[in-house]
Structure 1
Amino acid sequence: MRKRAATIGAVLASATLLLGATPASAGTSGTLALSCKTSAGSTGGWAECTGSGKWRGKAVCDWETDKYSERVDQKSGTVRVYVPDCTFSIEKVVVELF
C-alpha cells in the first residue's frame, strides 16, 4: 500500500510540473515571436511590435484608469497602434500579450 501511495504521489507531482510548465512555455514562445517598443508623450503614446502574436497597447495614466488600444492579431511584419490619450498625463505605454 505504501508503494502505491508513493507511486501515486510521484505521478501527481510529475503531472503538476508538466501542467505548470505548459503555460510558461506558451508565454515564452509568444514573447520570443514579438519584438516591441513603446513611446509616451505628455498624454498619449504608441506601441509598435514586429513579428507575430496577439497583443494590445496599454496607456498607464496618472490619476485615472488605464486605457487600451484595440487588440492586434499580428501574423507578420510591423504594426503600430496608438493608445487613447490620458486626460491629465501618461506615465508609460506597455504591451500586453495574449
Structure 2
Amino acid sequence: MLASATLLLGATPASAGEVGALALSCKTSAGSTGGWAECTGSGKWRAKAVCDFESDKYADCVDQKSGTVRVYVPDCTFNIEKVVVELL
C-alpha cells in the first residue's frame, strides 16, 4: 500500500510548495507492520511510523546533502497506519 507523504515543519503541516522551497521531495510507503520514506534533494528530516495500539517509532535523522535517500522505519508490533516524513 502506497501512502502519500505527510510533511511537517515544526508542528505545522507543510504544503508541497513549502517542501519544494526546502529542496526536498518525499514519498512514503506503509505495509502491514513496516514501511519506508524516500526523499530526493537536500535537507534534514526523519521518518516516523505511526503505529496502532503503541507509541510511534522513529528512524534515525537524515542530514541529506543531495541525491535520493530511502530510510526504513522500525516495524510496529501490531499494525502500521502510515509513514510520515518530518522536516527538522
If each structure's strand is expressed as a fraction of its own residues, which one has the higher value? 2
Taking structure 1 as the reference length, the TM-score comes to: 0.70
Are positions 1:78 and 2:64 aligned together?
A: no
**Once the two structures are aligned, what percentage of the paired residues are identical?**
81
The higher-RCO structure (CA 8 Å, 6+ apart) is 2
Q: How does 1:46-61 map to 2 (within 5 A)?
A: 46-61=36-51
SS of residue matched to 1:31 = helix
State the 4+ residue runs in structure 1 displaced beyond 6 angstroms: 27-30
Q: Note the C-alpha offset of 1:31.
A: 1.8
Which residue is equivalent to 1:95? 85
Taking structure 2 as the reference length, the TM-score comes to: 0.77
**Structure 1: 5+ residue stretches without partners:** 1-26
Provide the C-alpha distance between the structure 2 equivalents of 1:86 and 1:49, rounded to a whole number of angstroms.
22
Provide the C-alpha distance between the structure 1 equivalents of 2:75 and 2:26, rounded to a whole number of angstroms.
20
Which residue is equivalent to 1:31? 19
**Structure 2: 5+ residue stretches without partners:** 1-13
Q: CA RMSD in A?
A: 2.0
Larger radius of gyration: 1
How many aligned residue pairs are there? Answer: 73
